């Protein structure tokens, strides 16, 4: 099968959406499928206001549609609700081609955090975007319930995986951890307001707070919390070492749909502290994590969890399974693309 994935989130962005799409693409290609990705790096773009790391493609439905038609895919998946996503949606509808979408990000909460616009104003836009899709792929039961409650009913499961070869309790700890007071409390992810990192940095737990990642809020948080250790964005062995060398992984976000970084931490043997909200309540359990409305209590509880149990628990999340769920949700295009479209 030839699969077209249209996404506004792609490298050099570093986030869960990009890692998910890259990992699933790799698994699909192992299965013998062809995957063509249409992303902002292929078109003129402008930086997202207040978040310059994210590029917004300047593209019309006609231009993107010509590229899709040349690809002649057997199925089209629209991953994000951005300019490319809207252009692909418009072109597919115009030509009568079925497509699937995904709900990766709590977009109404994200917009509300950044602009102050009430989430109830954003949900109608989400309903309109996803309504024509043959299926909306979602990571967890909680998200499916929330989408149904907001009028998006045609939801299907699409779970996540973890690279167990890359993330392991045996990874050598990151050199920056040498000599740091224990426990080492780690956050990995975008350094942005919607991630609620300041709740972690305000924590009164003794030890060392380490932030891995970059984003628009980094400079302000570094200035405000000079005692925290900001290592910037990491990948490969340094990232694996940050996970394995920490005593607890702190996930303060209240706006994530899954939280792939939690699984990467668990695969590294590091227990999770988080709020009892969408994402954590679906992904982890009491054996490997502590969820509490008080983040200090969550950290204290997580520090008592067994690290071997954490690594064993993460083993159930595989990218092969995720790719198969993605494949099962696709809706094939029955007729061949009109090359002149």
Structural domains for the chain:
2-161+320-329 (3.40.50.2000), 175-317 (3.40.50.2000)
Among all chains, which residue has been given the structure tokens 């019309």? 60
Q: What is the pLDDT of residue 117?
A: 80
The answer to whether the CB of 331 falls within 8 A of the CB of 75 is yes
Has residue 319 got a pLDDT over 70?
Answer: yes
322's enclosing H/E stretch is helix 319-329
Backbone torsions φ then ψ of 292, nearest 5 degrees: -155, 145
Has residue 23 got a pLDDT over 80?
Answer: yes
Q: What is the pLDDT of residue 339?
A: 39
Mean pLDDT over 285-299 rounds to 98
Residue 91: count other Cβ atoms within 10 Å of its Cβ.
24
339, HSE (Cβ side, Cα atoms, 13 Å)? 1
Sheet holding 289-291, edge to edge: 229-232, 208-212, 184-188, 248-251, 272-274, 289-291
> Is the dihedral angle over the CA atoms 296, 300, 301, 302 positive or is it negative?
positive
**Euclidean distance between CA atoms 239 and 237, whole angstroms:** 5
Summarize pLDDT for 193-222 with one digit per residue, the tens: 989 999 999 999 999 999 999 999 999 999
Classify residue 248 by burial, with Cβ atoms within 10 Å: 0-12, 13-18, 19+.
Answer: buried
Q: What percent of the chain has pLDDT over 90?
A: 85
Q: What angle do CA 333, 337, 341 make, to 5 degrees?
A: 130
Q: What is the pLDDT of residue 162?
A: 96
Has residue 278 got a pLDDT over 60?
Answer: yes
Split at pLDDT 50, 70, 90, the class of 60 is: very high
Q: What is the pLDDT of residue 50?
A: 67
Q: What is the mean pLDDT of the chain?
A: 93
Q: What is the pLDDT of residue 195?
A: 94
Split at pLDDT 50, 70, 90, the class of 41 is: very high
């Amino acid at each position: 099968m030839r699969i077209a994935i249209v996404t506004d989130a792609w490298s050099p962005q570093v986030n869960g959406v990009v890692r998910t799409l890259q990992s699933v693409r790799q698994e699909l290609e192992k299965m013998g499928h062809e995957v063509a990705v249409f992303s902002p790096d292929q078109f003129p773009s402008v930086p997202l206001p207040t978040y310059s790391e994210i590029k917004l493609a300047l593209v019309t439905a006609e231009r993107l549609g010509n590229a899709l038609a040349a690809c002649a895919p057997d199925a089209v998946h629209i991953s994000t609700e951005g300019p490319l996503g809207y252009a692909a949606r418009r072109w597919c509808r115009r030509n009568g081609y079925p497509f699937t979408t995904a709900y990766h990000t709590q977009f109404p909460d994200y917009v509300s955090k950044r602009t102050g616009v009430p989430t109830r104003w954003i949900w109608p836009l989400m309903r309109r975007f996803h309504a024509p899709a043959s299926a909306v792929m979602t990571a967890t039961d909680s998200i499916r319930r929330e989408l149904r409650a907001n009028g998006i009913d045609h939801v299907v499961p699409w779970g996540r995986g973890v690279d167990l070869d890359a993330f392991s309790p045996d990874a050598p700890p990151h050199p920056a951890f040498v000599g740091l007071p224990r426990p080492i409390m780690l956050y990995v992810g975008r350094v942005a307001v919607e991630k609620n990192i300041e709740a972690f940095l305000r924590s009164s737990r003794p030890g060392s707070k380490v932030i891995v990642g970059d984003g628009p809020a980094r400079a302000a948080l570094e200035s405000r919390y000079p005692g925290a250790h900001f290592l910037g964005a990491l990948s490969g062995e340094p990232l694996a070492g940050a996970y394995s060398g920490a005593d607890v992984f702190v996930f303060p976000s209240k706006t994530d749909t899954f939280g792939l970084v939690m699984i990467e931490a668990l695969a590294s043997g590091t227990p999770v502290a988080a709020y009892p909200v969408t994402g954590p309540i679906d992904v982890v359990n009491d054996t490997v994590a502590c969820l509490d409305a008080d983040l200090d209590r969550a950290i204290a509880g997580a520090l008592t969890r067994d690290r071997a149990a954490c690594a064993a628990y993460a083993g159930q999340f595989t990218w092969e399974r995720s790719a198969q769920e993605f494949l099962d949700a696709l809706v094939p295009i029955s007729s061949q693309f009109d090359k002149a479209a």
